[in-house]
Amino acid sequence: MGFIELLLIAIGLSLDAMAVALCKGLAQTRSNPRQGMVIAAYFGAFQALMPLLGWFIGRQFERYVTAIDHWISFALLLVIGGKMVVGVLRGSSCDLEAARACRTREMLALAVATSIDAFAIGVTFAFLQVAVLPAVMLIGMTTLLLSLTGYFLGNRLGTRFGSLAELAGGIVLILMGSKILLEHLELLPF
């Protein structure tokens, strides 16, 4: 898996955290750079740790599933991306009252909730023999930057972009899963 593919996956994974950070920014009456950094750090750290954990677990089962690993990768990315797309189409939106709070327990819950998909990607990385440390660093940094951007955009622009970001993330993950499957089936010329 090349850098561009990893970057697209990192962006796709980051967009749900960005949407939540956007909601957090929207709920604030004025910009708070420190709070924006705390939110971005939570999301970036968990988006980096969860695929690493998934990779460790995936490596334990790698020898049992190598014949169908591309199908597993495709299914995981399809489910994760599909969940994001369906969530947007159902109209899930920011709860402004809940978004105003930025307590540790709440931030941990949000960081875990937005990084479950990253855990599944980590399992996929194990099957695809991805160099995990550069991949998780890229995912973590991408999430940190996009979450920080989301927080400040939300504070300035409103909720309109949160749904679009999550929709784009879901579509990117579905396309990446399809590409992995088509490459393993040798249906892509490149």
Q: Model confidence over 140-162: pLDDT tens digits?
A: 999 999 999 989 988 787 555 66
* Token duo for residue 111: 């960081």
| Cβ neighbour number for residue 27 with a 10 Å cutoff | 19
Note the pTM of the prediction, 2 decimals: 0.72
Amino acid at 54: G
CB-CB contact of 44 with 114 (8 Å): no
pLDDT in tens, 18-74: 888 887 787 777 778 898 999 999 999 999 999 999 999 988 887 777 677 778 778
* Token duo for residue 21: 């950070």
Given a cut of 60, whether residue 93 has pLDDT beyond it is no
Spatial distance between the Cα atoms of 63 and 66, rounded to a whole number of angstroms = 6
pLDDT at 52: 96
SS3 32: coil
- Residue 157 DSSP one-character state: H
- At residue 186 the predicted structure's pLDDT band, cuts being 50, 70 and 90, is confident
Spatial distance between the Cα atoms of 24 and 155, rounded to a whole number of angstroms = 8
CA distances from 176 to 3, 6, 29, 135, 170 (A): 13, 10, 38, 15, 10
Spatial distance between the Cα atoms of 82 and 87, rounded to a whole number of angstroms = 8
Spatial distance between the Cα atoms of 121 and 68, rounded to a whole number of angstroms = 16
CB-CB contact of 124 with 78 (8 Å): no
pLDDT at 137: 97
Average pLDDT for residues 175-181, to the nearest whole number?
A: 79
Ramachandran assignment for 35, one of left (phi > 0), alpha (psi -120 to 50 degrees), beta (any other): alpha
DSSP per residue over 83-113, as a string? HHHHHHHTT----HHHHH---HHHHHHHHHH
- Tokens 């540790």 correspond to what residue? 104
pLDDT at 1: 77
